[in-house]
Amino acid sequence: MKGRSYSCIWIFVALVIFVTFRAACGLLNSSPSYPQKSITTSESTPLLRTGEYGILDLGVDSPVWVFTTVDDMKEFDRLISVDDQLGAAKQTLEGKSILVDRRTKVLKIGAGFYGAEVRIYEGKYIGESGWVKSRWLKPLPDENGS
């Protein structure tokens, strides 16, 4: 009989923990909230699709890095995350990245988990291709210049 009462206590404790956890996570609502079809962000810049033209822009008056490979882009992120500016500059000197003028016209030719592959369509590096962060790709400005 004693073993059975301990089993009941453990089941009760487990049930209380489960209900508390679900309540804390907001899972006990009668009407679950599903994400909207269209998710908006504070930066409502539409993403470019493969085959579309756009411009490279960091959002500040600065050149934009274009990386030779996805691995070079990941390495750059690692270097910047530990504030190794010398290592990041060395990447450019070794030819693993190039600095392209802000607002340079590009064609998105591929996409991956870490970014987008682009072909440069104007400037010093015309014809070159490489990888950039997707957030650095912006749609072409309309005729009004916006």
pLDDT in tens, the chain (146 residues): 555 666 667 666 555 555 554 544 444 444 444 343 333 344 555 678 999 999 999 889 999 999 999 999 999 999 999 999 999 999 999 999 999 999 999 999 999 888 999 999 999 999 999 999 999 999 998 765 55
What does pTM read for this prediction?
A: 0.66
Distance CA 21, CA 145 (A): 53
Structural domain spans, the chain: 1-34, 53-139
pLDDT at 31: 41
What pLDDT is recorded for position 72?
96
Nearest to 56 by CA among 106, 129, 126, 125: 106
What φ, ψ does residue 101 adopt, rounded to 5°?
-55, 145
Please give the pLDDT value at position 48: 86
Element (H, E) at 64: strand 64-67
- Judging by beta carbons within 10 Å of its beta carbon (0-12, 13-18, 19+), is residue 48 exposed, middle or buried? buried
Q: Is the dihedral of CA 41, 44, 49, 55 positive or negative?
A: negative
Would you state the structure tokens that stand for residue 139, as one six-digit string?
């749609």
- Two tokens, residue 88: 């990041």
How high is the pLDDT of residue 45?
A: 57
CA 52 – CA 109 distance, rounded (Å): 8
